Structure 1
Amino acid sequence: MDSISQQLPSIFNVAAYFLENNLVPGRSEKIAFYYQDETYTYSQVNRFVRCTARLLSELGLERENRLAILLPDTPEFIFAFWATIWLGAVPVPINTACTLDDIQYILNDSRAKVLLTTQAWQEKLTPIQSEFLDHILLTDGETSFLSLITQQNEQFPCAETSRDEPAFWLYTSGSTGRPKGAIHLHQNMVICAENYAKATLGLHSNDITYSVAKMPFAYGLGNTLYMPMAVGAAAILSDANNAFDIITDIQRYQPTILFGIPSIYANILAVHDIAPLDTSSLRLCVSAAEQLPKTIWNKWRETYNQDICEGIGTTEFLHIFLSNRLGECKPGSSG
């Protein structure tokens, strides 16, 4: 039997794959993303991505050029990420928790030609020490990114990239030195979605995912962006980073899958007496990024009658590559 990679056509653009597969009848008007008080359907996301691609092309972003994205999890992040790949160029998400020095380093190391960020980040980074940067696009201010893309024509064909061509870069956290860029190919997201989201977690079109890890992390990118899109599910975009805000989000949006990390599970348990989590919508809890202590796993099971499906992944492997199976989760084990 051919591998997932071999089943893909040699001419393959992963942005077109995830976007156009969700334009079929019964799915195109389905909600793809929840963001604050707004929702975006798959057809709207497709339209915004194509308009963004045209804007970036007019700015001179060419095939294999890099576009850096320094944003929290927002719709603009999604539009720019997919639009850059649609063009055959390469998005480079940057974690907003990085130091200013590391951000300057990534902008130089990636040789990003365009930066998408906010006015606040632009002010913090001024002067930007990169000879390669030609344009800075801002999501706020008088001429916002959204106002620019809504002026564009959406009729813009995707680049005829190959399945083993670089699609995007993700930088490591730099725990052993400077952040290092991991290059991921057009086929990689499909492989992770098939092997983990579908075959391991059983993700389906009625799911709504909520990820504590943000999209510049490999774990968060899969949880929020391409894995829900692989099955026509929905995802919640949130910048919450403490237990109280996460509990509020879960109560508000009623996700079916919680992609957490050990410290958040511990913090939610710690505030249970004053802010109990309503888990009635959740069918699955997942943990990664670091080892989940047995005590937390057992306490979560005792408190909420839910197993936590733990796995392990890396930036270089893109997502979780070793995992427990649903119904067979073993505390203290990554699979």
Structure 2
Amino acid sequence: MRAFVVTGPGRGSVEDVEPPEAGAGQVVVDVARVGVCGTDVEFFTGEMAYLHQGYASYPIRLGHEWCGTVASVGRDVDPAWLGRRVTGDTMLGCGHCRRCLAGGGHVCADRSEIGIRGGFAGALAERLAVPVTALHALPDTVDDTAGALVEPGGNALRSVRGAALTPGDRLLVLGPGTIGLLVAEFARTEGAEVHVVGTSARSLDFARTRGFSGVWPDGRIPALPWDAVVDASNDPAVPALALDLVEPGGRIVYVGLSGTPSRIDTRTLALKDVTAVGILGASAGLAGTIARYADAAVDPRPLVAATVGLDEVGGVLAGRLPDNAGPGPKVHVDPRR
């Protein structure tokens, strides 16, 4: 089968590889759509921390935001999964350690992450093998575009839950990328007054089309009382900014990751009596995201700027958008093209 393989910093191409077989407890999925994520870009540039920490190495097959149809099942898997449209969890815990048994498989020390960590091949390919325990079925009302946005949506939904919003709360989202915009969309369904801050004209122009209460360029954030702040950026200076902006007694959610260490002054954290929440992965937010997409409470599809084939992935990872790309922040891949 065809798959996009990254072989080193700035190097990647479509290769013919052996198709996966469904092992015990696994299924093989015919991949319909894959999202290209900032994490994928960091692997392509060589900046991804896992490369330097020993959790990942080249060659690597990327792709952790995906949906498709179950084509085959392995031993001990219910054959009723055959032919079902699905998406799945990225975080695959060992299943037997203390963290996994307590429901924290996403922070298991021995976890694999599809397309990211532990050598687990990702979805930028025609087919993907995945444990049946990671699957989430997609209803017909969630099409392939929305299905491949469930994983970033799960991160966003968990961020909104971490912000503990109540109707009328004022939320500031720092970073209008895919996750930041989905945070804003989910928060609006909770009755929050939502404001978004960005740096690029393109991202700000698109955010303004989404009908939020305010969209502001960096450096022009209004002096309003922010009940909660979500950092969905990759700027190492933003975590400290979020702490400066949030109201005393408020909540900060950190879901964005920078390529270099960021710093906050914990004295400010304590003296403002602020609660800070870190978000890793979508696991606990996947089912809720599917439900909200299915009932049209949130429609994520306008965030997709273009859908390309495998042969165009290298250009996308290098920062080149297709000529016909729309204004949204996300690029999808259809491996069947």
TM-score when scaled to structure 2? Answer: 0.33
Structure having the higher strand fraction is 2
Structure ranking higher on relative contact order (CA contacts 8 Å, 6+ apart):
2
Structure having the higher helix fraction is 1
TM-score when scaled to structure 1? Answer: 0.34
